[in-house]
Structure 1
């Protein structure tokens, strides 16, 4: 009489790791953001800022008002949000668009860990390509008179955090994240936020300026938002955008996933 050995039950799926940062996700995100096409744009904008600073300094000499106009108008008002759009949406948007995100979601990694890791990478890239060039351009323009270079660099770094979270969220909720990001950066931030007084309260640029204002000399930077409110809004927007991006990513279920 033949006997059959019992069949072992299938091994349970590995539980997602309860960590906030995943090195492999970070490495893949860095490689995606610093690919040839995006890297050209990321390097072009800071290079343009530095070139403008060199030309202006050669033509007009050191002038605080001119330095503030360039660093506040072009750098913080246009360059930083554009870099934020490229880094924030590029951290996850292309993976969702081409469907390759399913390979990442199939790994035993929490969705919140994926989002938080991509956010940190986006912040690092945005800050590196915005705050450092702003600092260099500021020293070229007026030698950091009235702490303008440092103040605007701090403002750019602070803005990088909120922009990265906001544009990363855009990348999870719509396939037109770049268009939506450009509308926000160029229409709301650069146009409406600088003209309509009430809209300035809802401007990342103004929140960042409030922080930079505490670093620079009195009157060197001006923000329409008081520092306590600016800090609260920066934390709230960054936190809520990150939380909702993770929630949206959880809604992307794999075939056969409960």
Structure 2
């Protein structure tokens, strides 16, 4: 963890336009939850639908994509990363620092609102609010690492990330049994289920499979991003 890199990353990530964009996710989730709670009361099925499908299934991956690619992809695209790479810092430290910032930002803008939304919708009953909050924490970390890796390996990181989040996870992963095993969303659901119980939250992936896969994706993405960044050569004109 390098404080200077962290400070510059936070400044770039939470700039005026991107900061406003990040606020859309918690604002939308809390607004939908408030309206649903006022209109339908504390229904378990409605809570599962909002926190499971809208939040964990759609908003969290999109937020993770914006944050994960935003901490490094824009610097690579505009060539400003060359000044950071010129510093006597190990590339892995740059990557891990940016990942810590990405995970912390994702947690702040996704996990905290998830807890508030769950409490608003269903209170503390059945452990739903806590279960989905823990799911967002672990899934958010994995998304951040994966999308940071995409930001390093391709200039089309946003397109690739949207393809994974919206096509693979939201479409294929929800309707094709075999594909669910390779879905961060489903791994998060398994963690939520372990906290809240099978009667409240369903998951297509067992916890014993989900946890190792979450760790593998997070660690492997960080290592690969460090290796790729170590081999990256840029000039100030790029």
| Common fold by TM > 0.5 | yes
TM-score range, shorter chain: over 0.9
8 Å CA contact retained: 1:89, 1:171: yes
> 1:254 Cα shift?
5.4
Q: Distance in 2 between matches of 1:254 and 1:125?
A: 28
Give yes or no for the alignment of 1:224 onto 2:204: yes
Give 1:98's match in structure 2, choosing from 78, 83, 86: 78
Give 1:87's match in structure 2, choosing from 60, 67, 74: 67
Alignment of 1:30-179 (within 5 A): 30-179=10-159
Query: Paired residues, what number?
Result: 235
Question: Larger C-alpha radius of gyration, 1 or 2?
Answer: 1
Q: Distance in 1 between matches of 2:44 and 2:195?
A: 15
Q: Which runs of 5+ in 2 are unaligned?
A: none
Aligned to 1:239: 219
> 1:242 Cα shift?
0.6
Give yes or no for the alignment of 1:22 onto 2:22: no
Q: Which runs of 5+ in 1 are unaligned?
A: 1-20
Runs of 4+ in 1 over 4 A off after TM superposition: none
Root-mean-square deviation (CA), in Å? 1.0
Using the size of structure 1 for normalisation, the TM-score is 0.89
Give 1:193's match in structure 2, choosing from 173, 195, 198: 173
Give 1:180's match in structure 2, choosing from 160, 163, 167: 160
8 Å CA contact retained: 1:64, 1:145: no
Aligned to 1:13: none
Q: Distance in 1 between matches of 2:29 and 2:193?
A: 21
Task: Indicate the structure with greater helix content.
Answer: 2
8 Å CA contact retained: 2:47, 2:121: yes
> 1:253 Cα shift?
2.8
